[in-house]
A = this chain, B = another copy of it.
Amino acid sequence: MNKRIADLNRYLADKGLKITRQREAVAQVFFDTDGHISAEELYVKVSRSYPGVGLTTVYRTLKLLKEAGLAKERRFAEDSQGVFEKEDTARHHDHLICIRCGKIVEFKEPLIEKLQDEVAQRHGFSVEDHKMELYGLCSSCRTA
């Protein structure tokens, strides 16, 4: 059915972990979600289709998905809870966030990544990952 579910199952098998109803339910709903979702929100969504899955299990499954490289955790505002999004390594992106309405736009800028590598090299670092968030006003909020 789903390539990503298969990826997860392969990861579980490799680690000697088990494929359970709950894990498949959480993963399925997560993979069907676009954009960002918190553990709490995902829990509510999963409960609708597959009642009886606990919040604890949602947290645990998200952790597994991260370990398997299938999900990525983000933390936008400095006070909020973590949110998760599908990891698509082929399409790494950064975020543009409106400080008034909260709108989030994803973008990718290879030139910036190239410069990041250069800067890191200058300091003797190799870059494994990065996080870049631009905070500002979107067009609607600017004219309003």
Contacts and interface: CB of A to CB of B under 8 A. Distances in A.
Interface in A63-101: 73-75, 78, 82, 96, 98-99
How many copies of this chain does the complex contain? Answer: 2
Contact of A78 (B75, B78, B126, B127): B75
A50 interface: no
A65 to B, nearest CB: 14
Nearest to A140: B124
Nearest to A133: B131
A120 B96 contact: yes
Interface of A: 73-75, 78, 82, 96, 98-99, 105, 107, 109, 111-112, 115-116, 119-120, 122-139, 142
